[in-house]
Structure 1
């Protein structure tokens, strides 16, 4: 039993995090990379005014993104939690309700924005040339509303349905189409800045067609259940729950829209068009950083949802720590790169004027200093949202979005000019983390000892007797069985029940080893045992090939699962995020 670790470890959660991280980063790119690509190509092909015009669209695009967070992330969190509790019916009804709401919202958004597109463009800029360019980019964006909202929300569902690689493939194809058509429409066809927007919408349309294939495949565990329409009370209950859970993340994004509107106004009043050019590059670099922030933070959300549904608090902590390590490394590396070599990045956006470069270099460097704080502010926001500490996550959204940034931008801008505005971006992130620290401290004191650290997880009612992790080999199956027999007997479990527990764990581990026989790697297994005087519950989770013990095709043979069924009072099975989870009650 050399490879057995007689204790719980983070292997299964870390592997799942690794599996989901890159696809989630690529998914974040679906929202962000299109605007970066449009900015770079438009800046090089059409000039820096087109670059500034696309950046002026940021408040609108952030508003749309907030809708996908509100319903996509909110709904996928409920779905993951429901799957952790083995409630497939609720998962399907939440999934269906979300699609109905998004279609209705799309119709409303188009009906409102199309007639008012010119007026909205005037609100975003007073410069006549920038307004004309912005309007040309904005109209195709409005028409693509339903495709964008449905695609970006569905990406969350595809990931929650254990197909992160497919979700990333959708993103790659959508952005490849956008990139190719950018050059075709703006270059060969001379369609101007409107061509850039049309290319983006076309890319989303291709991605939408790809995404649709997932929900008609047998691999999908999510299915439409339109019976929810016959129960309006439950429909609005699900809608309210989605909004409640997703609100803090969506609010954070919405407040980015408010922040951008204020910053655009302040920067134009202090630095003019030159200041807007500098801010455009800073904003794009922050969008690049936000891919990692979104990727690292949102990767942990479905994992935390499932673990929370299972009351696996160790798994929750493992997922958060992994996300924190990823963000610590990525934010520092990106910050240092920008601080050391800002000029090549600036020139990459088509800015060649020595004056504009000289103005943008300090802006880029100061803005980069905010990246570590920005990363951890949003990591905590998404963590508290996933663990249903909604008041704290909402507070982070408001504090980070406007409470500190806008006053500091006004004050520092007045005394130090445009440089003061850049420093306000750093002040906002440091201030947010300081305030969150004191909020967390107050929550722990108010809990009366329930919460012992910043995770704010209550773990007093689960009767967990033992948790351990090991590789799914036959050698380890036998070794863990011997260990359990001894451990359980020493901890007050009567011998007959201890032996049944040990046998059940051994047979489940042996079955997992059989399933993975001939594969290049063994599965990882987590065992958690809960016991009281009346009942013992064994939770078995593995990341091996899918296999439902309730549909054992060796029912009439003496297979490991036949033995488990024979000695158990009840066996339940569910699959979520690519994990097999079996609950055995003795």
Structure 2
């Protein structure tokens, strides 16, 4: 009786592709702004975009803080079958985005001049920076709002809707960029309002889908200070990552400007823009870890957590190696795409792109670890990781190495920062293991139930023979856990009846699929979980319908209904949910 990890791998892939494409859609929009700025408005416009990037990152920081924090908490609630709290978190998130986004839009516009003077340093790029900020700041609430549907779609197993939202946003942004700059001649202001309008329209189109197919509901939030505090704590690592990007980009812009002038700043903007493609893969994989681990953590399923993490690391490292090779080989062609055609521009941009690409494997590992620790509640470790790689190490390395190798030292500092951060994480994890001896490994998980044989996870092929065999073999597990005869009988009966029912109703007799069974035994609790893909089917509704068609329980004459009747009588509680976009049946004895 072994777990083939089929459903975990399938769920990982189903989450991964929409996550990458969703972020890629947003990043393509970001990159398109830079390409059009460089090709249509000149290299100074590209440098001005680099100056404004910290402000853009600030808006995404706040959206990430609220939406990632709340959705991560909601995923754990769903793992615990607490739908009401998940709806409270959803309602609270929408309210916080409206209030905070509105305040930033109004306040930012009122203090537009001082803000522009700060980020442009009052020099030759001031006019272009001002025009872009004049269009971007009033619409900051729209940029923040896109993170709400994206993250809440993801934990429902409907990441493809978040992907559609970001693809709509990308297509609209590119079209409006070209129309406002080439047709209307609106320059930097046109690029900014294109970003705002595309975000607004995409959110308006996709937001209603949050409420369909048994989705979320607005509920009374009552006294939710505790939840707000939790959102801020849980969402702090990715939010601080964006916030540190604001400070880091500002400092590096000033440092690069001092060493190479506007041409070097344009080269840095070029590198950042190209790296948004890599960031789509990095963030897509890291953010795929969060909802899956969140649900499994709520279920105390350490085996599935380890499998998700392993899948993420393997796929992430392979993809970053391929990406680094490709952009190194085609670096010159990518420069031409951004309008960097002169020899002087390419002498700065090409080495910067190639050297910075070497840091991407480290970026991948650290991002996955950051989202993982955030999800399991190890926020201090996640925040330490974020501080080290997002600001502290890279700024210190850039300041020191630039004195030795100039601009090359700045590019090298990205790889140095990731390596030092990984070392700090390993040291911190080891210290944690010394304090909390019940934990093990860098993932800091408690394997006691698995080691003691009180947790079992196995997969059953979708055929009658496999179901009957698993129903018989489970007696060994029950005996090892010292369950009484009644409990053992219910477990064996539940496996047989539930799986046969799912076989008929979900898979309709088709083979070559799999159903996961997980049994958790602790003290006076026995929890059974059955999970499978295929057609959505709620056995509780099925039993209810059969009851309504009959004259009472005694009149239920089908084998399926009789099995459900027996299990319902013997179990404390039977629930059904669609966590991770799968059929989930939970039986508590």
Question: Normalised by the size of structure 1, how large is the TM-score?
Answer: 0.93
Structure 2 residue runs of 5 or longer lacking an equivalent are: 548-555
Deviations along 1:155-201, one digit per CA (max 9) or x if unpaired, are 11122222111111111111111111222111122221221122222
Counterpart selection for 1:11 from 6, 9, 25: 6
Instruction: Please report how far the alpha carbon of residue 111 of structure 1 lies from its aligned counterpart in structure 2 after TM superposition.
Output: 2.0
Counterpart selection for 1:401 from 352, 376, 390: 390
Q: Are the counterparts in 2 of residues 549 and 561 from structure 1 also a CA contact under 8 Å?
A: no
SS in 2 for 1:276: helix
Correspondence for 2:541: 551
Distance in 2 between residues matched to 1:532 and 1:197, nearest whole Å = 56
Deviations along 1:408-464, one digit per CA (max 9) or x if unpaired, are 11111112211111111111111111111111121112223x122111012335873
Instruction: Please report how far the alpha carbon of residue 536 of structure 1 lies from its aligned counterpart in structure 2 after TM superposition.
Output: 3.6
Correspondence for 1:262: 251
The reply to whether residue 222 of structure 1 matches residue 210 of structure 2 is: no
The reply to whether residue 507 of structure 1 matches residue 482 of structure 2 is: no
Distance in 1 between residues matched to 2:477 and 2:152, nearest whole Å = 41
Counterpart selection for 2:577 from 574, 577, 582: 574
Q: Residues 119, 491 of structure 1: CA spacing in aligned structure 2 closer, same or farther, 3 A cutoff? A: closer
Q: Residues 407, 204 of structure 1: CA spacing in aligned structure 2 closer, same or farther, 3 A cutoff? A: same
Q: Residues 82, 123 of structure 1: CA spacing in aligned structure 2 closer, same or farther, 3 A cutoff? A: same
Correspondence for 1:64: 59
Counterpart selection for 1:50 from 37, 45, 49: 45
Instruction: Please report how far the alpha carbon of residue 484 of structure 1 lies from its aligned counterpart in structure 2 after TM superposition.
Output: 2.1
Q: Residues 557, 210 of structure 1: CA spacing in aligned structure 2 closer, same or farther, 3 A cutoff? A: farther
Correspondence for 2:307: 318
Name which of structure 1's ranges 388-397 and 431-440 shifts more when overlaid on structure 2: 431-440
Distance in 1 between residues matched to 2:74 and 2:462, nearest whole Å = 28
Q: Are the counterparts in 1 of residues 244 and 387 from structure 2 also a CA contact under 8 Å?
A: yes
Q: Are the counterparts in 2 of residues 17 and 319 from structure 1 also a CA contact under 8 Å?
A: yes
Distance in 1 between residues matched to 2:264 and 2:488, nearest whole Å = 71
Distance in 1 between residues matched to 2:522 and 2:344, nearest whole Å = 74
Instruction: Please report how far the alpha carbon of residue 91 of structure 1 lies from its aligned counterpart in structure 2 after TM superposition.
Output: 0.7
Deviations along 1:484-538, one digit per CA (max 9) or x if unpaired, are 2455457654555433322210111111111234587765322122336755432
Distance in 1 between residues matched to 2:389 and 2:586, nearest whole Å = 42
How many residues align? The count is 574
Q: Are the counterparts in 1 of residues 149 and 210 from structure 2 also a CA contact under 8 Å?
A: no
Distance in 1 between residues matched to 2:196 and 2:395, nearest whole Å = 33
SS in 1 for 2:58: helix
SS in 2 for 1:144: helix
Q: Are the counterparts in 2 of residues 513 and 522 from structure 1 also a CA contact under 8 Å?
A: no
Correspondence for 1:3: none
Q: Residues 346, 519 of structure 1: CA spacing in aligned structure 2 closer, same or farther, 3 A cutoff? A: farther
Correspondence for 2:552: none
Instruction: Please report how far the alpha carbon of residue 559 of structure 1 lies from its aligned counterpart in structure 2 after TM superposition.
Output: 4.2
Counterpart selection for 2:103 from 97, 105, 108: 108
Distance in 2 between residues matched to 1:85 and 1:110, nearest whole Å = 37
Q: Output aligned runs, 1:346-495, within 5 Å.
A: 346-448=335-437, 450-460=438-448, 464-485=454-475, 488-489=478-479, 492-495=482-485
Instruction: Please report how far the alpha carbon of residue 80 of structure 1 lies from its aligned counterpart in structure 2 after TM superposition.
Output: 0.8
Distance in 2 between residues matched to 1:30 and 1:518, nearest whole Å = 38
Q: Residues 529, 114 of structure 1: CA spacing in aligned structure 2 closer, same or farther, 3 A cutoff? A: same
Instruction: Please report how far the alpha carbon of residue 73 of structure 1 lies from its aligned counterpart in structure 2 after TM superposition.
Output: 0.7
